[in-house]
Structure formats: structure tokens, C-alpha cells
Amino acid sequence: MEDVFVPFIAITVLFLGLPWLVFHYITKWKTAATLTSGDEKLLDDMHDAARRLDDRLCTIERIMTAENPNWRQQCLPGRDDARRLLPDGE
């Protein structure tokens, strides 16, 4: 009896269980990978807000540089200019 039962279970798992498991997770992966329209709108809104904030910061830095060209050194007296990612004025 055991000689028939073990191969039957192995074949069932191989030809039914394994493909079901693979296709189950493929469909889960495809549905989870998409953005909803609400997510896309939120992402666009956040991108627009970040762009506006960047423009405001550049405007403030231009105004500060026009009033006092050395304002950056006065804000952080021990700061090393070589560590800056962007040079002054950019």
C-alpha cells in the first residue's frame, strides 16, 4: 500500500501543488505591484510640492546672498566649504 501511496502524493504535489503555488504568487505579485490612481495622484502632488519648496529655497538663498554674500559662513562658522555638495550660488 505504501508503495502506491508515496508516488501518488509526490506526483500530485509536483503536477498540481507546485504550479498552483507558483501561479498564486505570480498573481499576488502582479496585483501588488501596481499603483492605484489615488497613489499616482498623491505622488504627483508630493512631487509638485517638493518642486515648489525647492524653488522657494533657491529664491531665499538668492535674496540672502544678495544682502550678505558671506551669510553661509556666518550661519555655520566651523563649516568646511570642501564638504559642500553644491558650490555657493547654485
Q: How many domains does the chain have?
A: 2
pLDDT digits (tens, 9 = 90+) for 15-60: 988 999 999 999 988 887 778 899 999 999 999 999 999 999 999 9
Q: Are residues 7 and 40 in the same domain?
A: no
Q: Are residues 24 and 48 in the same domain?
A: no
Q: Are residues 19 and 41 in the same domain?
A: no
Q: Output helix, strand, coil percentages for the chain, rounded to the nearest 5.
A: 80, 0, 20
**Is the whole model's pTM more than 0.85, yes or no?**
no
